[in-house]
């Protein structure tokens, strides 16, 4: 029993082809390729955080504010010449 697998033999998988419910006739090939090439970052927010950030503007504003605060704190730590 150890050598058996749950997968169907390759020949059997090829015969079936694509399922009827997979209809790509209205699809556009490469529609999002350029945006992914330029760099797309997808971040999943915790559901409770998603309630606090209704769209992308506050999601982007929050880290920008933290970066500004960190930069000011770092500037205070540096000795003045």
Task: Report d(CA 64, CA 58) in Å as an integer.
Answer: 10
pLDDT digit string (tens) for 12-56? 655 567 777 888 888 899 998 888 888 877 788 899 988 888 888
Return the residue matching tokens 């058996």.
4
Q: Write out the two tokens for 69.
A: 């605060």
Q: Answer whether residue 72 shows pLDDT above 80.
A: yes
């Amino acid at each position: 029993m150890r050598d058996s697998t749950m997968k169907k033999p390759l020949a059997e998988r090829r015969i079936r082809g694509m399922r009827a419910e997979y209809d790509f006739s209205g699809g556009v090939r490469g529609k999002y390729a350029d945006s992914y090439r330029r760099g797309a970052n997808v971040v999943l927010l915790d559901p409770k955080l998603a309630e606090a950030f209704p769209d992308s503007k506050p999601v982007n504003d929050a880290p920008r504010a933290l970066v500004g605060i960190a930069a000011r704190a770092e500037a205070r730590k540096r000795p003045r010449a």
